[in-house]
Structure 1
Amino acid sequence: MVKSKKLYYSRVFKELKLKMNIHRIMCGEIKNNNFIVEKDGRCLVVDLTDFERIDAFIQEKGFVVEGILLTHSHWDHLLGVDEFVKRYKVPVYMGSRRPNYVDKKEFGYTMEKYGLETKFDVEVTFLDEGSHSIAGFNFDLIEVPGHTYCSVIYYFKETQTMFTGDFLFRKAVGIVSSLYSNRELMAESIAKIKTYPDEIKIYPGHGPLTILGREKRENPYLIQGYRE
């Protein structure tokens, strides 16, 4: 049975690559997953921790960058955005819930907490929950507040793929102990994500890739609800 599960996971990720290439680049001291979503030489960057590493990869591949998608406002997911935008002149997108967190509250708080200089001098386009299309990339933005008020998932239905940021991991979810997190909202978001199909591939902000159905069966936070 274990062997068949491994074959299933291998098959669905292989099928995904035939439709949309997803490149994972692990960055930073806390091993953030940055993703480059590519079709026909054009790409979107999902979270951007390390400018130099992402820039080098894109230059090597010759991709045309169409934009940056941010899953939430914590510093480790957007530390490289400022420099990247200055070089590539691309738009930056994130969820519209509590947008002031980007440069006034949440971002500044988390930067100061780790002794880093607060710098996020870019224009952000705030997207409402629902369907969006950017340069031929079609996705749904799903609001999942809890870890932060502005946490979102980018759900690409065509390939049954979700980029979950720090909301959902393998056998874990994002913490709700920081200044701008909320336990009750996290519980609501967990209930919300459980309504989506089991076959969805999960690309989290940290750690290994997984499948939503597997998390429904094995993730204690999805089984029992949020308990810190």
Structure 2
Amino acid sequence: MFTIEPVPFGSYQANCYVLTSAGRALVVDPGAEAPLLLAWLAGRDVVGVVLTHSHSDHIGAANEVARAFGVPIMCGRADAAAMADPHLTGFDEEGSDYAVTRIDRALDEGDLIEFGDDTVQVLETPGHTPGSICLWSSAQGVLLTGDTLFAQGVGSTEYLRADPRALVATAARLGALADDAELWPGHGGRTYLSVERARNPMLRAGLGGVGQPA
């Protein structure tokens, strides 16, 4: 069983997560404030960095974490190229040319990411971006949702490369998970699928023809 530690970083307060199993740590969405983030990670046995999507507030310390620990950077395949383009990530709007130019593993639906004694499964969840992914643990009933699903909301489709129709299908798919699934979003606090289904009609639509995760 792995532990989950969230800490928000940066002006957008995007959650960076550390998943730890048997002393091995997986870092999800190291988005900003690299010196502070690295201080938080000091002493841990980090084995990899996972980026849930290609927006600036979720990737802005990825290079520094990967370099400090000598670990691979992973993201959804359809967002891999965008990671290196400051216009597509939104860094240009912040006056920055920050780019994640090295993606060591492009992730696809059903891929497993191992750390310690545990694994998480990759779910392709397009909509907010084409390559948005969620990380699912069926053993623990835990879903890290990135910016796909929040407490009282879903990801915005006002950004470049967003697809409202894809997000509707994605939300319907996630809505078919077990009621007690814990949702850990990219912004804000933990919630539960049963709570979100009750207040979000997009989650009540069932599978909608999209495969349910194992």
For residues 85-140 of structure 1, what are the alpha-carbon distances to aligned partners after superposition, in whole Å with 9 as ceiling and x for unaligned?
A: 221110111112253222137645x1112222232233331011004142343121
Please report how far the alpha carbon of residue 68 of structure 1 lies from its aligned counterpart in structure 2 after TM superposition.
0.7
What is the CA–CA distance in structure 2 between the aligned matches of 1:75 and 1:115, rounded to whole Å?
12
User: CA 1:68–1:170 in structure 2 vs 1: closer, same or farther (change >3 Å)?
Assistant: same
User: CA 1:159–1:148 in structure 2 vs 1: closer, same or farther (change >3 Å)?
Assistant: same
Q: State the aligned residue count.
A: 204
Q: Tell whether the 8 Å contact from 2:85 to 2:99 is kept in structure 1 after alignment.
A: no
SS at match of 2:12: coil
- The gaps in structure 1 that reach 5 residues or longer are 1-18
Match of 1:31 among 13, 16, 22: 13
2:167 corresponding residue in structure 1:
186
Structure whose residues are more often helix by fraction? 1
What is the CA–CA distance in structure 2 between the aligned matches of 1:223 and 1:177, rounded to whole Å?
23
1:1-228 map, 5 Å = 19-50=1-32, 51-59=34-42, 62-104=43-85, 107-108=88-89, 110-136=90-116, 137-223=118-204
SS at match of 1:196: coil
SS at match of 2:179: coil
The amino acid that maps onto 1:56 is A
Give the TM-score, by structure 2 length: 0.88
What is the CA–CA distance in structure 2 between the aligned matches of 1:198 and 1:162, rounded to whole Å?
12
CA RMSD of aligned residues (A): 1.9
Between 1:175-184 and 1:125-134, the stretch displaced more is 125-134
Q: Tell whether the 8 Å contact from 2:76 to 2:131 is kept in structure 1 after alignment.
A: yes
SS at match of 1:97: helix
Give the TM-score, by structure 1 length: 0.83
Aligned-pair identity (%): 28
Please report how far the alpha carbon of residue 220 of structure 1 lies from its aligned counterpart in structure 2 after TM superposition.
4.5
For residues 9-46 of structure 1, what are the alpha-carbon distances to aligned partners after superposition, in whole Å with 9 as ceiling and x for unaligned?
A: xxxxxxxxxx3211111111111111100122210001
The amino acid that maps onto 1:52 is P
Q: Tell whether the 8 Å contact from 2:14 to 2:31 is kept in structure 1 after alignment.
A: yes
